[in-house]
């Protein structure tokens, strides 16, 4: 979800050669039951030509919620939220056709702000109030029940930007108490990153009301890394940080943390391999611990072809990873 995501825009044209099974088509209207958009919602990136058809993938996998990515500022130096899409103008409402299809198929969405690349709102909005207003525009535009802040690179490394995000999320929670807020952060090989620890501490000190802290336990090892074991160890570190900061029990802390993996071969130069068997182990462990969120990057690459933005790089059937995620109930 990091370097590969930064390069996705340049790879988008390559997706045009994929088969129609990857494309979005209109779906029939369906009654949308209450769907938790946080608990098991994989990432779906709109910057690619190849996108799954929700009318097919929802009944085939059992996964009804999707994390639509990414919202960033339209231009550097502005606080103007927009979403990158492969076709059509990059407007805030650019994801609406896909979101409407997902909801028509009985599903729901959480929108993700940030990612590895782009003009981050946390860096470009100069005050917490302005940043909260930008987040509010996203919530209102899509009538969201949840918002994911994927805070990476300089947005989390720069203290002022990091703390601005936390302060803005507190404002959002005060204005929208029913909207769940999720913060997604990068991992490190041997310890929870200091910037992640700092964000958690600030969230507790300011009573920001963040519902789930999620870790991306990949892009840290190599091809021989046991990704199931590494994921468990990494998330346990996050759990301990949240437990200590908020004074929680182990069970309470596990329910306040989550994980977002990457299916198949991860980003160069790491090239870790999250096999389908490893993913099953990860999801089973998450179920045992009742994590607050399980996700992966991405549905766009949940296909068994060469590793890249639209393929996992390992032998698999279409949507195998999404199907496993569909068994997760929190």
pLDDT per residue as tens digits for the range 161-172: 999 999 999 999
Q: Each residue of 91-102: pLDDT tens digit?
A: 999 999 999 999
* List of residues 6+ apart from 51 with CB closer than 8 A: 22, 23, 24, 44, 86, 98, 300
Among candidate residues 123, 152, 155, 163, the one labeled active-site is: 152
Cis amide leading into 199 (omega within 30): no
List pLDDT tens digits, range 193-219.
999 999 999 999 999 999 999 999 999
Domains and CATH numbers, the chain: 3-325 (3.20.20.80)
Q: Is 152 exposed, middle or buried (0-12, 13-18, 19+ CB in 10 A)?
A: buried
Asked about 129 being catalytic, the answer comes back as no
Q: Are residues 289 and 252 in contact, defined by beta-carbon separation less than 8 angstroms?
A: no
| CA distances (Å), origin 120, targets 46, 135, 157, 212, 231 | 17, 12, 12, 21, 27
Q: What is the pLDDT of residues 271-325, one digit of tens each?
A: 999 999 999 999 999 999 999 999 999 999 999 998 889 999 999 999 999 999 9
Question: 128-171: per-residue pLDDT in tens?
Answer: 999 999 999 999 999 999 999 999 999 999 999 999 999 999 99
- Per the model's pLDDT, the better-predicted residue between 1 and 55 turns out to be 55
Looking at residue 25, what is its pLDDT? 34
Q: Note the pLDDT tens digit of each residue in 61-118.
A: 999 999 999 999 999 999 999 998 876 667 999 999 999 999 999 999 999 999 999 9
């Amino acid at each position: 979800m990091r370097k590969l995501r930064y390069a996705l825009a340049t790879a988008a044209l390559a997706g045009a050669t994929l088969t129609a099974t990857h494309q979005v088509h209109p779906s029939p209207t369906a009654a949308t039951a209450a769907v938790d958009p946080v608990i098991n919602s994989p990432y779906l990136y709109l910057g690619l030509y190849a996108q799954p058809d929700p009318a097919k993938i929802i009944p085939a996998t059992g996964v009804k919620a999707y994390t639509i990515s990414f919202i960033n500022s339209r231009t550097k130096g502005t606080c103007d939220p927009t979403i990158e899409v492969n076709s059509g103008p990059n407007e805030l409402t650019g994801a609406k056709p896909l979101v409407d299809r997902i909801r028509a198929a009985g599903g729901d969405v959480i929108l993700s702000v940030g990612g590895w690349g782009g003009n981050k709102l946390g860096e470009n909005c100069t005050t917490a109030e302005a940043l909260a207003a930008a987040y509010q525009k996203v919530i209102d535009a899509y009538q969201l029940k949840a918002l994911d802040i994927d805070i990476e690179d300089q947005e989390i490394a720069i203290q002022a930007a990091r703390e601005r995000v936390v302060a803005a999320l507190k404002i959002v929670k005060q204005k929208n108490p029913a909207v769940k807020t999720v913060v997604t952060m990068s991992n490190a090989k041997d310890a929870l990153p200091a910037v992640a620890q700092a964000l958690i501490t600030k969230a507790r000190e300011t009573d920001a009301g963040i519902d789930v802290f999620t870790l991306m336990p990949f892009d840290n090892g190599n091809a021989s890394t046991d990704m199931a074991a590494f994921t468990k160890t990494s998330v346990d570190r996050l759990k301990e940080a949240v437990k200590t900061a908020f004074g929680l029990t182990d069970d309470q802390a596990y329910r306040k943390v989550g994980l977002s993996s990457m299916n198949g071969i991860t980003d160069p130069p790491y090239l870790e391999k999250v096999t389908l068997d490893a993913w099953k182990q990860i999801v089973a462990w998450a179920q045992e611990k009742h994590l607050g969120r399980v996700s992966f990057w991405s549905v766009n690459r949940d296909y068994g072809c060469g590793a890249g933005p639209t393929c996992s790089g390992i032998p698999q059937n279409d949507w195998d990873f999404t199907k496993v995620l569909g068994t997760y109930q929190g």
